[in-house]
């Protein structure tokens, strides 16, 4: 099945946005930033270090899914930590593929500690790892988040081209 959407997933600090934006540019697909779909209340909670509940995430996931289905091929940056979230994001759409940026909590903590302009702080990282359900290799392309972003982008672009998608 040809991908029509890549969802770049992983915990905070894994490089979802960096890889996602660069992949979208490389493929000339649109880029969707999952963080843009959080409600103001959810952003306040996360900024205060309060993990979101499944109920908090319902409208967020539905909004991202609607954005995926509303247009041309897309690359989405979205944590998609649990399998049930990935099922909501995929819905009944064919061609939705996941790429999982996997890595070490210490690396991600270092990255988050350097962030100055984002609501998701390093204090939230442990709860994200606790919620993370690592996708099976057949359910997602696994990428090493410690590798340079351009290497991961190139790997995904090659994989996409191998499926005859422009």
- DSSP bridge pairs for 30: 74
Q: What is the model's pLDDT at position 44?
A: 85
Q: Report the distance separating Cα 26 and Cα 8, nearest Å.
A: 14
Q: What is the model's pLDDT at position 31?
A: 97
Instruction: Answer yes or no: is pLDDT of 130 > 60.
Output: yes
What tens digit of pLDDT does each residue of 98-126 get? 999 999 888 878 877 675 665 555 567 78
SS3 content of the chain, % helix, strand, coil (to 5): 50, 15, 35
Residue 143: C-alpha distances to residues 59, 100, 135 (Å): 28, 6, 12
Q: What is the model's pLDDT at position 123?
A: 63
Q: What is the model's pLDDT at position 118?
A: 52
Rounded to an integer, the average pLDDT of 90-94 is 92
Q: Report the distance separating Cα 46 and Cα 56, nearest Å.
A: 11
Q: What is the model's pLDDT at position 165?
A: 47
Q: What is the model's pLDDT at position 47?
A: 78
Residue with more model confidence, 47 or 119: 47
Q: What is the model's pLDDT at position 81?
A: 94
Q: What is the model's pLDDT at position 166?
A: 46
- Report pTM: 0.88
Residue with more model confidence, 111 or 153: 153
Q: Report the distance separating Cα 15 and Cα 35, nearest Å.
A: 13
What tens digit of pLDDT does each residue of 11-41 get? 888 889 999 999 999 999 999 999 899 888 8
Closest CA to 142 of 106, 95, 98: 98
């Amino acid at each position: 099945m040809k991908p029509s959407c890549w969802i770049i997933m992983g915990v905070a600090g894994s490089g979802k946005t960096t890889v996602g934006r660069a992949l979208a540019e490389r493929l000339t697909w649109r880029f969707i930033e999952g963080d843009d779909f959080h409600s103001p209340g959810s952003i306040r909670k996360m900024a205060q270090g309060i993990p979101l509940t499944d109920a908090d995430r319902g409208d967020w996931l539905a909004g991202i899914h609607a954005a995926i289905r509303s247009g041309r091929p897309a690359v989405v940056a979205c944590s998609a930590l649990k399998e049930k979230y990935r099922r909501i994001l995929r819905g009944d759409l064919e061609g939705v593929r996941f790429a999982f940026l996997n890595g070490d909590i210490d690396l991600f903590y270092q990255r988050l500690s350097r962030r100055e302009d984002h609501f998701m702080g390093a204090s939230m990282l442990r709860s994200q790892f606790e919620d993370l359900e690592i996708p099976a290799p057949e359910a997602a392309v696994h990428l090493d988040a410690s590798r340079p972003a351009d290497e991961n982008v190139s790997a995904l672009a090659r994989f996409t081209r191998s499926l005859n998608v422009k």
